[in-house]
Amino acid sequence: MRRKGRDYEHKYFLSPDYQRIRRELIGSVVILAGLFITGTIWFWLVDKWPFLDAAYMTMITLSTVGFGEIRPLKPHSRLFTMVLIVAGVVTIGYMVNRFTEAIIQGYFQEGIRLRQKRKVIDKLSGHYIVCGFGRMGTVVAQEFAAEGIPFIVIDSEKEEVERATQMGYLAIQGDATLDEYLLLARIDTAACIIAALSSDADNLYTVISAKTLNPNIRAIARASTEEAVKKLQRAGADAVVSPYITGGKRLAAAALRPQVMDFVDGIISGTEKSFYLEEFRLQEDDCPFIGQSLMEAGLRAKTGALVVAIRRRNGILIAGPTGGTILEAGDTLICMGTAEQLRALNQLLSTGVSIYTPAFPRIPRKKDIPASES
């Protein structure tokens, strides 16, 4: 589905303040042009002046330069001229006022920045969309930024969009439940969408819209209640997270198994990590290890990376696979290791070109790799 160029940009991309000042400026120019046309036609048709004289008389009247009448005016034309002068002065004064406000408020600079932002958005592909920049959405964005994942934020509140922009994130203001704003965020080329809005209903609408516009997108949603979790799953959400349920379980786990929780937190979040978890999908045509066991493939011995789990194509999860576990086409290997070990595994799974596809496309995380391991 293609967007409608400039009309789409003006309606959905530019900020409301910018759109308002632009409408007012265009409106005043249109009114001024209408006055010029009206005055020219009056002097041309009513007073029977030559067209050039009629246009010139209208111009000096609207501009109030002080020149005298170029031809004698009849009484009714003098009355018309007075009305034309008042209307012209009011219109020009209003236009100057709007233009001055636009300069002082920086709306012209904003327009340039917004168009530059749109160019960046138009080039997005394989990115993530974060809907809602509240407390949860902010944490999600911070984690994505730490991982070096390309993403864009959508929020209906101007303050939240400005906050996201100040943090260096790509963000647009709009209602994520509407198709127009999802299309603006390039949902057609996105890899994943995060519905982190405060309302369960809004998250439900967002998931439905996302799956309609891009059936292949992975949708993750926030839910406040167990009932909302079920509805979001029925709507097509690939994963649903309840901050209250998940938070309660993590609190209990932190109390019962603190060292385990510290370890898990250390490998799944944050920027100061020594170990990473990564996913690798084995392609059917190119992977040389299809049909071999983990022991025969020797992934651990050759790279040091540990295969902690395997997700089969049919969805079955094999936790802690043994050396005899056979690698099948379409398997997703969940691996743990240092940045250097995972790079070595990446190289091992490559035959000159990349023969694996990460479960969700990511960009290189160079800033997360310690200098000693580079």
Residue 185, domain CATH: 3.40.50.720
pLDDT of the residue at 363: 39
Does one domain contain both 162 and 76?
no
Range of weakest confidence among 41-55, 67-81, 106-120: 106-120
Does one domain contain both 218 and 325?
no
Segments in the chain forming alpha helices (H): 5-8, 16-41, 51-63, 75-105, 107-122, 135-147, 158-166, 179-184, 200-213, 226-234, 243-256, 258-268, 294-297, 299-303, 339-348
Q: Is the pLDDT of residue 373 over 60?
A: no
The verdict on residue 315 lying in a domain is: yes
Q: Is the pLDDT of residue 359 over 60?
A: no
Domain range holding 103?
5-110
Q: What is the mean pLDDT of residues 151-165?
A: 92
Out of 110, 136, 159, a domain closes at 110
pLDDT of the residue at 270: 57
The verdict on residue 363 lying in a domain is: yes
pLDDT of the residue at 367: 41
Out of 196, 216, 241, a domain closes at 241
Q: What percent of the chain has pLDDT above 90?
A: 37
The verdict on residue 137 lying in a domain is: yes
Between residues 4 and 82, the one the model is more confident about: 82
Does one domain contain both 298 and 355?
yes
pLDDT of the residue at 273: 66
The verdict on residue 266 lying in a domain is: no
Range of weakest confidence among 96-100, 196-200, 285-289, 324-328: 285-289
- Least Cα distance to 197 among 136, 240, 152, 149 occurs for 136
Count up the domains in the chain and report the number. 3
Between residues 334 and 118, the one the model is more confident about: 334
Does one domain contain both 105 and 129?
no
Q: Which amino acid is at 208?
A: I
Out of 110, 139, 163, a domain closes at 110
Q: Is the pLDDT of residue 135 over 80?
A: yes
pLDDT of the residue at 265: 75
Does one domain contain both 101 and 163?
no
For the entire predicted model, the pTM comes to: 0.63
DSSP string, 191-219: SEEEE--S-HHHHHHHHHHHHHH-TTSEE
Confidence at 357, pLDDT banded by 50, 70, 90: very low
Q: What is the mean pLDDT of residues 192-220?
A: 94
Q: What is the mean pLDDT of residues 322-326?
A: 92
Confidence at 350, pLDDT banded by 50, 70, 90: low
Does one domain contain both 133 and 227?
yes
Does one domain contain both 106 and 38?
yes
The verdict on residue 215 lying in a domain is: yes
pLDDT of the residue at 245: 84
